[in-house]
Amino acid sequence: MAETAPTTYTPPAATVFTELYYAETESGALTQIFGVQAIPSPITAKEDITYRTLESEIEFAVKGVRPYEPIELECIWFTEQYNALDDLAEADEELWFYLKFPTSQKTVFKWRGSIDVAPAEIALDDMLKTMIKLGKSTKPVKLTQLPA
């Protein structure tokens, strides 16, 4: 049994330097969303389609479809960023989103979708935060780098 990853694998990376961007058009200038606390995966696992038969007490499954799930993330509250994102949400136009992993991973996910923003829960002894909800109207695709 192998105890270490093959030497041809990219070394593991921490989540530090993961970045989230948006652009108003696919070829438009990228704007970074700052203060991100966590980002759910833009790609969800396929849901199983299950079935049973009279001849068996076992339930079987085949792969189904990937369910639509919006991406909800908390960010540190920056008034200027909140106002800019709120303006985009109020315009109700779709944006392009880019989720960039740390440079060593050479992975960027890109998709098109909606944005909504609201103040997050205000908790005792915590930072003020923003809750951002990103929709998906296209399938997230994997790139090796951000667009130039």
On the question of pLDDT at 7 being above 80, the answer is yes
Q: Is residue 58 part of a domain?
A: no
Nearest to 148 by CA among 48, 26, 43: 26
12 token code pair: 């593991």
Looking at per-residue pLDDT, the higher value among 98 and 7 belongs to: 98
| Residue 94's CATH number | 2.30.110.10
State how many domains the chain has: 1
Q: Is residue 59 part of a domain?
A: no
Q: Is residue 2 part of a domain?
A: no
Specify the long-range contacts of residues 123-128, CB closer than 8 Å, at least 24 apart: 127/76, 127/77, 128/76, 128/77
Q: Is residue 50 part of a domain?
A: no
Percent of all residues in the chain with a pLDDT value above 70, rounded to a whole number: 99
Q: Is residue 60 part of a domain?
A: no
What distance separates the 2 farthest-apart alpha carbons in the chain? Answer: 63
Q: What range does the domain containing 94 cover?
A: 19-42+68-143
